[in-house]
Amino acid sequence: MVLGLRSKNRKGTSVQLDYLIFVQEIKPWPPSQSLKSAQSLLLQWENGDQSSGSCTSNVGDGKVEFSESFRLSVTLCKEVSRKGTARDSYLKNYLEFNLYESRNDKAMKGQLLGSAVINLADYGIIMDAVTINAPIHFKKSSRSMVPAVLYVNIQQFDRDRSSLSKQVSLDKDGSETVSEVTNEGNDDEVEIASFTDDDDGSSHSSLPVSSSALESRRGSPGQSDKKGIRNS
């Protein structure tokens, strides 16, 4: 399957990622005497205008444990690479958490207590699971308030079964090229497909390439293989 989208940022590329977000807990709790009366909390998350959800939990001993997870699809836009930059840099993409005191039926949110924000662009393509400590900023704060932290674990979705990378890039002549590489656990070969938009028509190419061949070409980028594949 080919990713059918066009990058609006013509200076960089867009990378589509699937995250598995695991909302662990908030601690310490309560951070202040005024929040001791809160018995049940509702945590609502948002990423842009299209993705949102919520989870509830009762207040425990010194913490609020949620232990809820959800899948989040995100498109990160790369910033223009700078000379001397060792890693990719992405435009800001926020995952926002809003904490409410839930009402008796737990389905309705009550008063907004505070919020926490995670910038997904700081993490980009995650190879190993990472736990993030996001400080909660409360609407009503005081000097005696103890800082409370939201603990969130983020990892790549379904990483063990397949490794999926979708990228939208630009050819040297300005035309858009969409490519996708999928590595299955038991497959010895991967198929690389490229599609180029053209006013007079479109050219399709599909070549089975073994893993060893890919490694060989990476080691000697200035040479063509025996099949006559030219470097772009």
Tokens of 174: 């300005």
Nearby residues of 117 by Cβ (< 8 Å), 6 or more positions away: 94, 95, 96, 97, 134
What is the tens place of the pLDDT at every residue in 102-144?
876 655 678 899 999 999 999 999 989 999 999 999 998 888 8
Whether cis (ω within 30° of 0) applies to the bond prior to 147 is no
- The structural domains of the chain, ordered by start, are 17-156 (2.60.40.150)
Q: Which two tokens stand for residue 32?
A: 């202040």
Q: pLDDT per residue over 12-26, tens digit each?
A: 688 999 999 999 999
pTM for the full predicted model:
0.62
Q: Which amino acid is at 160?
A: D
